[in-house]
Amino acid sequence: MAITLTMFVMGILLGFIGAGGSGFIIAILTVVFGVPIHTALGTALAAMVFTTLSGTYSHFRQGNISVKTGVIVGAFGSICSYIGSKLSGMIPVHSLHWLTAAMLFLSAVILVVRLFIFQKPMVKRNLEKSGLNWDFVRNAAIVGIITGLMSGTFGIGAAPFIQIGLLVIMGLSIKQSVGTTMLVILPIAVAGGVGYYFQGFLDFKLLFEVVAGTMIGSYAGAKFTSLAPQPVLKGAMVITPIAAAALLLVS
């Protein structure tokens, strides 16, 4: 019950800033509740499946998803996420704390770039419009491989990295990059979760407690998003992964 209530409070924050929050889930589970970090990584990644489902459906209804791009990036990402989960099992616990924290700090940097630099549609040609050619598949593979490995190895959703990849490498608009990121995360989270499960790092009782709390909390938190001033919202989006990384470093 304590985990569910904590995740509910955290879910309000995550719903408010519109993030999956796997980094914060990992930090809270390891530091506050003493969950082994490999189990926390597997649980956080599997929880992403449920927390992104509704977002993916909503963005699809709004026409914000580039389906072909999302499917191909997600396919490469899922394979590498599974491989990453295997790599994670080989990393010593102490090193994994530091590496995951470093990825969270880096995601904050990427968020700053995303929020304050790429605020206008990219002028680069959208590769999807050129059809299923070598350039399109190659670039989609690059985005999928890099973000899939990061997600699987460190248990993070890698949403900022995926968004930047879709903006810069694939040439999608900001609106498309946000929606398509949700679609990409789904297969990545599923494959990574399966990888952690086969290594014995996925606790289904813990997963249920996490998902129950975050899903209800994020639904409530999303109600406050439109009420917050934009600078406050952007600041919260950047501070959240930094706080999660700092929490991991003190453990």
Q: How confident is the model at residue 194, as a pLDDT?
A: 94
SS3 for 251? coil
Half-sphere exposure of 185 (CA within 13 A, CB side): 34
Tens digit of each residue's pLDDT (9 = 90 or more) over 202-248: 889 999 998 888 878 777 766 665 676 777 767 777 787 888 888 88
The domain segmentation of the chain, as residue ranges, is 2-249
What residue type is assigned to position 12 of the chain?
Answer: I
Q: Higher pLDDT residue, 251 or 94?
A: 94
Token pair 């956080």: residue? 44
Q: How confident is the model at residue 251, as a pLDDT?
A: 62
Mean pLDDT for the stretch of residues 115-129: 57
Instruction: Say if residues 221 and 13 touch (Cβ distance below 8 Å).
Output: yes
Q: How confident is the model at residue 85, as a pLDDT?
A: 93
Percent of residues, the chain, with pLDDT higher than 90: 25
Q: Higher pLDDT residue, 123 or 91?
A: 91
Half-sphere exposure of 232 (CA within 13 A, CB side): 8
Mean pLDDT for the stretch of residues 107-130: 64
66/173 Cα distance (integer angstroms): 10
SS3 for 185? helix
23/3 Cα distance (integer angstroms): 16
What residue type is assigned to position 189 of the chain?
Answer: A
What residue type is assigned to position 192 of the chain?
Answer: G
Mean pLDDT for the stretch of residues 79-88: 95
Task: Kindly report the average pLDDT of the chain as a whole number.
Answer: 82
**Six-digit token string for 223:** 């109600």
Tens digit of each residue's pLDDT (9 = 90 or more) over 123-180: 455 555 555 688 889 999 999 999 999 999 988 878 888 888 888 888 887 778 878 8
Instruction: Say if residues 162 and 134 touch (Cβ distance below 8 Å).
Output: no
Mean pLDDT for the stretch of residues 77-102: 91
Tens digit of each residue's pLDDT (9 = 90 or more) over 178-211: 788 888 988 999 999 999 999 999 889 999 998 8
44/188 Cα distance (integer angstroms): 12
SS3 for 221? helix
Q: Higher pLDDT residue, 195 or 249?
A: 195
